[in-house]
Amino acid sequence: MQTVKLTADGHVQLQEDYIRYLNLSVGDEMEITKLADGSIRLSKPISQPKKTLADFAGCLKDKTEVRLTIDELQNAIANSATNASMQGLI
């Protein structure tokens, strides 16, 4: 366990072994969480690439040749539910 001092401007400095352990670099963001026992947890956030709706659009393109309208989709869902009910699955 490391003891750190709080500076006048609210900063703390981690020892090098903690910085290496978390694979931190200057400017990296950290997550700080208040715990029920009055302590805090400091951790490196899990990095996930930023995604937008545009990234998602078309992700299933060319995965299938089937093209359905909303009405066709709703009918297929209703038919599947009916079939599952008749087989005692739902």
Average pLDDT value for residue range 25-43 = 91
Residues 6+ apart with CB under 8 A from 80: none
User: What pLDDT is recorded for position 10?
Assistant: 92
Q: Considering only 5-19, 41-55, 69-83, which range has the smallest mean pLDDT?
A: 41-55
Q: How many angstroms separate the CA atoms of 4 and 15, rounded?
A: 9
Contact 20, 11 (CB under 8 A): no
Put simply, whether the predicted model's pTM sits higher than 0.75 gets the answer no
Q: How many angstroms separate the CA atoms of 80 and 86, rounded?
A: 10
The rounded percent of the chain whose pLDDT value lies above 70 is 98
- 9-33: buried (b, 16+ CB within 10 Å) or exposed (e) per residue? eeeeeeeeeeeeeeeeeeeeeeeee
pLDDT above 70: residue 48 = no
Q: Which residues pair with 33 in a beta bridge?
A: 41
The rounded percent of the chain whose pLDDT value lies above 90 is 34
Interval 49-78: pLDDT, tens:
777 877 777 777 777 777 889 999 999 999
